[in-house]
């Protein structure tokens, strides 16, 4: 690391206002797409100057009421979220000057690649950070009020962040840079901040105001995603896989070269982390890229005359449809979501072949006294009928075969519209399960009405562990059972229930996380002399990071072998025994191979980030079991 320590010095700012302006007088805060780098070069130094001011964030767009928020601006330019992008070539000397024109003291971190550097700016003060950009990659800077850490940024400092990109010498890559941020706008009876009302933003605004992205079939896309918030974000791309090329944090990132690279459909971004991802559209359509924590893609909260009560918000999320089902994406979703439109090439045409038929039947709710409806589906495959594990989910396992053209007919016997997303499956956009945008302008995906059916056509290109789940009124319908495992076997393989085990985590209202429909699932028996495949799925609505761990009666970990992530087999060099604990984000699947060390009692435990036991699966290993 070759950089100088931050230099901070208080310089009174003559024009500083002595009192904060009223809400009505605050200037609006605009949006920043991170397409133009800030600053200019002088005598071999990249000089960047920006200010901190308070403005009015407009998360629901111009003309709607907003909320006061701290933001950055270049001199003479309007406030924007996120802050100015610092983008330089490796080896460049950098001088970043910040002027605090607000009435609050602000602490800035991340302006150099040294975690020890910070800049404390009292109202009216300015400071300069000098460094040398000697590490290629993606990082970010952020501001907080004094006494706060990165994880405490929740109020008016919640969106006070900006991107830093250090490129390798040579032509600048063609990419998109996204900064994720969050702010809280609710307090409990003890005046403590809580997350009843949150604003989620990508590059300064929530869906449906987020950027509309575009791609081309056969042309690679490169995204830099910065989680400048205090929360986990499992980022999911519909329809295809992406390669995670780099992963890092506030001060630096790391190349994931060779076999360390990950090819996934969902990548969990912890607080204050970054990733570089690459993907190549191989089919046309409009695809979603979004956080899979359901509460982060719910309709946006309002301010002023647009405000609603917490009770109203809960009714909107868990009650029956209050919007047009065929426009659920625009009217019933918000937050951390973007669309990517890939036009069809002139020669594009779907493959027409004969297909095997499998039926997914969503039940008609018939249980009196239940507050939540029942949506857990039954699967019919020829003469074989598989019932759901529990009334409130997961639904029955959907079993497919690699390379076999299949029609999954979703029959909706319920009294509500719905739609099913085949999470991780590579298929045509019309069948992806996103109403209103799926398909083409001539044929859009529509919600499945009560009493109607929808045929989803797919030819699974790979074997592995996938998920199906509703993509309409997600909180209400998923917490009522409309989710399940979708397993793709190699061609001609038979399902081996004695050695292949599926563990699906879902959510059930105030009860919380459920494992295969229970807090303590019925005991499984394993053969001590065999290798067992453990397929682990997290499709909860509000638990973005869960640990699966397999333990002995004394709670000590056994060992297992990591086999696959998101239906992609890991390279042979990574098939090594490891302690049996795995973090699984929402929308992620992991496959482990486990050979019991001895007969006896074991437990598959589900624990929160804080170590709280949420659910468990007793396992009895029996010698000589067949």
Q: Is residue 21 part of a domain?
A: no
117 or 398, greater pLDDT: 398
Residue pair 115/250 in contact by the 8 Å Cβ criterion: yes
pLDDT average, residue stretch 164-168: 95
Considering the entire predicted model, what is its pTM? 0.93
Same domain as 572, residue 443: no
pLDDT higher than threshold 60 for residue 570? yes
Torsional class of 277: left (φ above 0), alpha (ψ -120 to 50), beta (otherwise): beta
Which CATH number do you get for residue 482? 2.60.40.420
Q: Is residue 100 part of a domain?
A: no
Same domain as 409, residue 525: no
CA atoms 88, 94, 97, 98: torsion sign = positive
- pLDDT value of residue 281: 95
- Binning pLDDT at 50, 70 and 90, where does residue 587 land? very high
Give percent of the chain above pLDDT 90.
75
Q: Is residue 148 part of a domain?
A: no
For the segment 473-494, what is each residue's pLDDT rounded down to a tens digit?
Answer: 999 999 999 999 999 999 999 9
For the segment 218-260, what is each residue's pLDDT rounded down to a tens digit?
Answer: 999 999 999 999 999 999 999 999 999 999 988 888 888 776 7
Q: Please, which residues bridge with residue 461 across strands?
A: none
Hey, which of 44-48, 329-333, 399-403 has the most confident mean pLDDT? 399-403
- pLDDT value of residue 3: 37
Q: Is residue 363 part of a domain?
A: yes
- Binning pLDDT at 50, 70 and 90, where does residue 20 land? very low
Residue pair 583/544 in contact by the 8 Å Cβ criterion: no
- DSSP SS3 for 324: coil
* Distance (Å, whole) CA 436 – CA 207: 15
Q: Is residue 295 part of a domain?
A: no
Where does residue 410 rank: exposed (0-12), middle (13-18), buried (19+ CB within 10 A)?
buried
Same domain as 506, residue 479: no
pLDDT higher than threshold 80 for residue 153? yes
- pLDDT value of residue 319: 74
pLDDT higher than threshold 80 for residue 196? yes
Same domain as 361, residue 484: yes
* Distance (Å, whole) CA 335 – CA 343: 25
- Binning pLDDT at 50, 70 and 90, where does residue 186 land? confident
Integer CA distances (angstroms), 256 to 200, 220, 424, in order: 28, 18, 22
- pLDDT value of residue 12: 33
CA atoms 182, 608, 561, 498: torsion sign = negative
**Structural domains counted in the chain:** 2
Where does residue 413 rank: exposed (0-12), middle (13-18), buried (19+ CB within 10 A)?
middle
- Binning pLDDT at 50, 70 and 90, where does residue 509 land? confident
Where does residue 152 rank: exposed (0-12), middle (13-18), buried (19+ CB within 10 A)?
middle
Same domain as 452, residue 379: yes
Same domain as 486, residue 525: no
Nearest residue to 361 via CA among 432, 395, 410? 410
Q: Which of 38-47, 71-80, 317-326, 492-501 has the lowest mean pLDDT?
A: 317-326
- pLDDT value of residue 103: 95
Same domain as 507, residue 452: no
- pLDDT value of residue 327: 87
Same domain as 524, residue 466: no
Domain hosting residue 418, numbered range: 350-495
Last residue of a domain, one of 441, 470, 495: 495
pLDDT higher than threshold 60 for residue 10? no
Same domain as 576, residue 484: no
pLDDT average, residue stretch 515-533: 95
pLDDT higher than threshold 50 for residue 538? yes
For the segment 198-219, what is each residue's pLDDT rounded down to a tens digit?
Answer: 999 999 999 999 999 999 999 9
Which two structure tokens, joined as six digits, stand for 265?
């459909």
Same domain as 553, residue 624: yes
Same domain as 521, residue 452: no
Residue pair 289/236 in contact by the 8 Å Cβ criterion: yes
Same domain as 545, residue 478: no
Q: Is residue 117 part of a domain?
A: no
pLDDT higher than threshold 60 for residue 6? no
For the segment 138-149, what is each residue's pLDDT rounded down to a tens digit?
Answer: 999 999 999 999
Q: For the chain, how many helices (H) and strands (E)?
A: 3, 48
* Distance (Å, whole) CA 626 – CA 157: 60
Q: Is residue 595 part of a domain?
A: yes
* Distance (Å, whole) CA 206 – CA 200: 6
For the segment 337-391, what is each residue's pLDDT rounded down to a tens digit?
Answer: 999 999 999 888 777 888 899 999 999 976 666 667 899 999 999 999 999 989 8
For the segment 438-469, what is each residue's pLDDT rounded down to a tens digit?
Answer: 987 778 999 999 999 999 999 999 999 999 99
What ranges make up the beta strands (E) of 101-169? 106-109, 118-121, 126-132, 137-144, 161-167
For the segment 256-307, what is each residue's pLDDT rounded down to a tens digit?
Answer: 877 678 899 999 999 999 999 999 999 999 999 999 999 999 999 999 999 9
Nearest residue to 478 via CA among 403, 576, 402, 375? 375
Last residue of a domain, one of 447, 467, 495: 495
- pLDDT value of residue 311: 79
Mean pLDDT over each residue of the chain, to the nearest integer: 91
Last residue of a domain, one of 495, 521, 551: 495
Q: Is residue 42 part of a domain?
A: no
């Amino acid at each position: 690391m070759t950089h100088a320590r931050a230099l901070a010095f208080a310089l009174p700012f003559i024009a500083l206002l002595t009192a904060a302006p009223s809400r009505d007088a605050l200037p609006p805060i605009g949006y920043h797409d991170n397409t133009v780098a800030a600053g200019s070069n002088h005598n071999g130094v990249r000089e960047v100057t920006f200010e901190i001011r308070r403005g009015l964030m407009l998360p629901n767009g111009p003309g709607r009421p907003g909320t006061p928020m701290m933001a950055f601006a270049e001199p003479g330019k309007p406030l924007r979220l996120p802050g100015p992008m610092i983008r330089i070539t490796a080896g460049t000397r950098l001088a970043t000057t910040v002027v605090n024109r607000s009435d609050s003291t602000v602490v800035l971190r991340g302006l150099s690649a040294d975690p020890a550097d910070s800049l404390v700016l009292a109202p009216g003060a300015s400071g300069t950070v000098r460094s040398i950009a000697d590490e290629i990659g993606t990082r970010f800077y952020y501001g907080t009020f004094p006494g706060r850490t990165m994880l405490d940024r929740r109020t008016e400092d919640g969106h006070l962040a900006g991107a830093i990109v250090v490129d390798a010498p040579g032509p600048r890559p063609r990419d998109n840079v996204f900064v994720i941020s969050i702010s809280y706008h609710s307090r409990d009876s003890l005046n403590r901040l809580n997350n009843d009302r949150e604003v989620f933003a990508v590059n300064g605004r929530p869906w449906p105001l987020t950027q509309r992205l575009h791609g081309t079939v056969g042309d690679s896309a490169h995204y830099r995603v910065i989680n400048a918030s205090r929360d986990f974000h499992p980022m999911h791309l519909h329809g295809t896989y992406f390669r995670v090329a780099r992963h890092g944090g506030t001060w630096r990132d790391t190349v994931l070269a060779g076999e360390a690279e990950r090819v996934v459909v969902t990548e969990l971004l912890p607080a204050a982390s970054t990733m570089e991802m690459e993907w190549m559209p191989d089919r046309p359509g409009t695809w979603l890229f979004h956080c899979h924590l359901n509460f982060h893609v719910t309709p946006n909260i309002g301010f002023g005359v647009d405000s609603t009560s917490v009770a109203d918000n809960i009714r909107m999320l868990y009650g029956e449809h209050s919007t047009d089902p065929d426009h659920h994406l625009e009217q019933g979703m918000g937050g951390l979501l973007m669309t990517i439109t890939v036009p069809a090439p002139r020669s594009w045409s779907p493959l027409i072949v004969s297909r095997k038929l499998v039926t997914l039947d969503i039940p008609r709710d018939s249980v009196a006294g239940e507050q939540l409806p029942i949506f857990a589906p039954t699967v019919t495959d020829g003469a074989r009928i598989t019932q759901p594990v529990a009334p409130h989910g997961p639904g029955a396992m959907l079993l497919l075969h690699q390379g076999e053209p299949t029609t999954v007919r979703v029959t909706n016997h319920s009294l509500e519209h719905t739609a099913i997303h085949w999470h991780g499956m590579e298929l045509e956009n019309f069948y992806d399960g996103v109403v209103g945008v799926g398909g083409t302008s001539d044929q859009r995906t529509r919600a499945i009405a009560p009493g109607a059916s929808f045929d989803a056509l797919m030819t699974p290109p790979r074997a592995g562990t996938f998920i199906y789940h509703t993509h309409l009124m997600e909180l209400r319908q998923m917490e009522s059972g409309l989710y399940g495992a979708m397993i793709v076997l190699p061609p001609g393989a038979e399902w081996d229930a004695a050695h292949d085990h599926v563990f699906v985590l879902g959510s059930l209202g105030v009860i919380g996380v459920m494992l295969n429909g229970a807090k303590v699932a019925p005991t499984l028996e394993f053969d001590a002399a065999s290798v067992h495949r453990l397929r682990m799925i997290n499709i909860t609505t509000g638990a973005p990071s869960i640990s699966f761990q397999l333990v002995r009666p004394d709670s000590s970990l056994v060992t297992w072998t990591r086999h696959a992530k998101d239906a992609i087999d890991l390279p042979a060099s990574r098939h090594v025994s490891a302690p049996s604990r795995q973090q699984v984000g929402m929308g992620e699947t992991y496959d482990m191979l486990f050979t019991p060390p001895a007969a006896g009692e074991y437990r598959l435990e589900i624990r929160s980030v804080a170590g709280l036991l949420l659910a468990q699966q007793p396992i009895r290993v029996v010698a000589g079991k067949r």
